[in-house]
Amino acid sequence: MLPRRHLSPEALSQLKRFTDARIALGQAGAGLPTEAVLGFALDHARARDAIGSELNADALTEALRDGDWPLLAHSAVTSRQEYLTRPNLGRRLSDDTAAHLSATNLTCDLCIVVADGLSALAVNENAVGVIQALCPLLPPEMTVGTVLLRNGRVAAGDRIALALGAKAVLILIGERPGLSAADSLGAYLTWAPREDTRDAERFCVSNIRKGGLTLDAAARQIAALLDRSRIAGRSGVAIADGR
């Protein structure tokens, strides 16, 4: 909280226009004004609601329908509580999903996995828009398949891509909600995924939401990273560092 003598109320208002962060909250005696306290409680409640939100599989399926796509997948998690306490299970696929993917005849070059993550709200609001903006930017010969994943973590996308014979996987996943945003979407791109892919071998585009990185801007960044990965035959820090 900035001392009042440093900035005028008008200057503080100007600063707040450029960020959703909790700045310039004001002061009431030794504490915060009632409005700031209530705002904190509301944002905290929104974050908790986002964690418990559910993937709208029906709406997403309808919006992304393309032949036999999208497929529906589940992680090895059996409940939302287990998802929060056992992140390792969210990185694996359920036995039924693994068997179904192994039996399918579907293949694709780029597998786009839409996972609820820690905020299904973010996915429900932003994932379709990102995909619709991204697809026209891809090479015309690149085939795309979509998969909806419940209770998934980023690494589960690698296993899905391997089962479908994909060259690359893009997982759109709800990011951990905070007090300034509960609807932030993250995009993780991995070229030549493996079961033991390291985080450093992925690209990440984050804070995709209204008030953050726009859907169109995110799609352009993802397309550019995908092109670099295709040329280099790999993704992640090695490319970013020029190695």
Residue 230 tokens read as 């295709």
Q: Taking CA 149 as the corner, what is the angle to CA 145 and CA 153, rounded to the nearest 5 degrees? A: 115
Over 70: is that where the pLDDT of 192 sits?
A: yes
Look at residue 124 and tell me if it is in a domain.
yes
Look at residue 125 and tell me if it is in a domain.
yes
pLDDT at 204: 97
Q: Which residues does residue 79 pair with via DSSP β-bridges, in sequence order?
A: none
Q: What is the mean pLDDT of residues 57-84?
A: 96
At 198, which CATH number? Answer: 3.40.50.11240
Rounded to whole angstroms, the Cα distance separating 10 from 58 reads 47
In tens, the pLDDT along 111-158 reads 999 999 999 999 999 999 999 999 999 999 999 999 999 999 999 999
Rounded to whole angstroms, the Cα distance separating 20 from 46 reads 14
User: How many domains in the chain?
Assistant: 1
Residue 78 tokens read as 């059996």
pLDDT at 113: 98
Q: What is the mean pLDDT of residues 174-199?
A: 92
| Better-predicted residue by pLDDT, 243 or 97 | 97
Over 60: is that where the pLDDT of 242 sits?
A: no
Buried b (16+ CB within 10 A) or exposed e, 176-185: ebbeebbbbb
With cut-offs at 50, 70 and 90, classify the pLDDT of residue 92: very high
DSSP at 95: H
Percent of the chain with pLDDT over 90: 71
Residue 204 among known ligand-binding residues = yes
Look at residue 28 and tell me if it is in a domain.
no
Over 90: is that where the pLDDT of 221 sits?
A: yes
Lowest mean pLDDT among 137-141, 143-147, 218-222, 237-241: 237-241
Domain encompassing residue 136: 52-240
pLDDT at 17: 76
Cβ-contact 197, 190 below 8 angstroms: yes
**Cβ contacts of 221 within 8 Å, gap of 6 or more:** 205, 213
Look at residue 27 and tell me if it is in a domain.
no
Look at residue 46 and tell me if it is in a domain.
no
Look at residue 32 and tell me if it is in a domain.
no
Look at residue 212 and tell me if it is in a domain.
yes
